[in-house]
Structure 1
Amino acid sequence: MEILPGEGVALAKVGETRDVVESRVGPPVHPGRGRRAVYDTDPMLVISYHADDTVELVEIADGGEEVFFEGVQLTGRFMDDVVAELAERGLRAEPFDIGFSFVPGFAIFSMGSRTARDIDPTASDDDERSVVEGVSVAPFDYFREPTEEEIEALVREHEAKRPGH
């Protein structure tokens, strides 16, 4: 499956309504929590919706068909290898707790459920290389860390909503 950075995938794009997505992929196999839904596609899609039922984030799980960006296989490979190959193409990786985000509008991540041995039978039991287990696609601003000013503004907004303020 090919990702469309900042947009999603052919089956589900940021801004589309749930009805449009489900007309292509069918109903969710698991409605998820809150605004998230899991769809039985290959690979599996996990879609987060805004309150107005439009797509906010498209996540693609590792397993089944692999996920690609412009010919680069993203899933089912060592994280460092994927980051290096994307860097050769001029994409700069921004690290976060479980992976890396990229300016065109996508992120790769590992939940730690796959080990190096899963893709390299010669790897030792203590090999700590991360395996890319999924890809998230949304406009890049979704992935960037908020600035101090943005955090302070959110805190002020939250405090203003509290009773007695």
Structure 2
Amino acid sequence: MEILPGRGVAMVRVGETRAEVEARLGPPAHPGIPARSVYDTEPSLVVDYDGDVVELVELGCSGDGGEQATVDGVQLTYRFMDEVVAELTELGHRPEPCDSGYAFRAGFTIFSTGSRHAADLDPLATPDDPREIVEGVGIAPAAFWLG
């Protein structure tokens, strides 16, 4: 699924209302959480709301064989973090370290929660292999990430 830096994805855009999102996607998979909704899409879509307006769009990692998040032809999720950062840098995106990954001034982040291990991508990886896998992408205006 192609991300639109700073804006979201084709199905959900920053600034849309909850009613607009749910008219397209249906109700969230786990209703009753007003500030954050998870939608049953491939890859999974997590939307943070400020009141009833989309503030942040996140895409999860689908794992092997599933649809992944992309930008400018670069697969972002389910790849080694260092490889993704290198490819994005070659395209002119400048990474800035943040809590669990990197933020980009274009209006997105890539992150790892540590729930995947290098062996998920490299069968020769040892148990102590430190390579991180990009497990998700956050999309919002650059000010959301970088102030």
Question: What interval of TM-score do these two structures reach, taking the shorter chain for normalisation?
Answer: over 0.9
Secondary structure, aligned partner of 2:102: strand
Counterpart for residue 47 of structure 1: 47
Superposition deviation, residue 23 in structure 1: 1.1
Q: CA deviation at 1:131?
A: 0.1
Q: Distance in 1 between matches of 2:112 and 2:32?
A: 20
Which structure 2 residues correspond to residues 23-42 of structure 1 after superposition, within 5 A? 23-31=23-31, 33-42=33-42
Per the alignment, residue 5 of structure 1 pairs with 5
SS of structure 2 residue aligned to 1:28 = coil
Structure 2 CA distance for partners of 1:21 and 1:34, relative to 1, 3 Å: closer
> Please, which moves more after superposition, 76-85 or 28-37?
28-37
Alignment of 1:104 with 2:103, yes or no, is no
Q: What does 1:83-122 correspond to in 2, within 5 Å?
A: 83-122=85-124
Structure (1 or 2) with the greater helix fraction: 1
Consecutive unaligned residues in structure 1, runs of 5 or more: 146-165
What is the one-letter code of the residue matched to 1:31?
A: P
Q: Which residue of 2 aligns with 1:159?
A: none
Which residue of structure 2 lines up, in the alignment, with residue 57 of structure 1? 56
Secondary structure in 2 aligned to 1:114? coil
- 1:146-157 aligned within 5 A: none
Aligned-pair CA distance for 1:34: 4.2
Paired residue secondary structure (2:146)? coil
CA contact (8 A) 1:32 1:38 kept: no
Say if 1:36 and 1:46, in contact at 8 Å, map to a contact too.
yes
Runs of 4+ aligned structure 1 residues displaced above 4 Å come to none
- In the comparison of the two structures, how many residue pairs are matched? 144
Higher relative contact order (CA 8 A, sep 6+): 2
Name 1:69's counterpart in structure 2.
71
Q: Which amino acid aligns with 2:91?
A: R
Specify which structure has the higher proportion of strand: 2
1:143 and 1:33 mapped to 2: Cα distance? 23
Gaps of 5+ in 2: none
1:9-57 alpha-carbon deviations (Å, 9 max, x no partner):
0000000011111111110001364410000001110000112x01000
CA distance in 2, matches of 1:87, 1:48: 28
Q: Percent identity?
A: 58
